[in-house]
A = this chain, B = another copy of it.
């Protein structure tokens, strides 16, 4: 292999990497500014573009906009998460759809013949949906940051209660609640950053 390239490689600059990765913080509070519908649409559009296994795209999003729905979600949050979720300008409940195979002809026409096999194997469908929706949660959080939003993802809530309240008809299964909003002034929404493990602790080279 050569060690040079014909064209310059396009990379993100430090400011962009900072916005997504190195400077960004998980937020517990936000500026008192609405998140417009157009930003929600763009956030969805970006989230679904990076790869999922067999293009399954199992992530589903519940945008919690009305005061009534916010109250219902708040009541289902763990006690330590309730207040900040009730105060967030926008709340998104992330879920997966284990019935992704119903879209298989659209998503993966080259695998459409396998639809019956997947239909008959719910554990496999649930496993693929869980893993790929979690991968897409990573895309969602970084896309939100790329659009200027701060994110506060949370796993501590009553998922069964959430599914009964909102997904009784479509069968989606919730796995995370994400608070979203524009950054509070002067980093007021952030706690101290916790430690990261090092390259030698988390990677191996063979």
Interface residues of A (CB under 8 A from B): 1-7, 9-12, 15-17, 19-22, 24, 26, 31-34, 40-41, 44-46, 48-51, 53, 55, 57, 59-66, 69, 89, 103, 106-109, 130-132, 134-139, 141-143, 146-148, 151, 153, 155, 166, 170, 175, 182-183, 185, 194-197, 199, 201-206
A-side interface mostly: mixed
Is B206 a contact of A51 with CB atoms below 8 Å?
A: no
CA distance A49 to B17 in the complex (A): 11
The copy count of this chain in the complex is 2
Pick from A51, A138, A196 the residue with the most CB of B within 10 Å.
A138
Residues of B within 8 A of A50 (CB): 20-21, 24, 138, 141-142
Chain B residue, CB-CB nearest to A36: B3
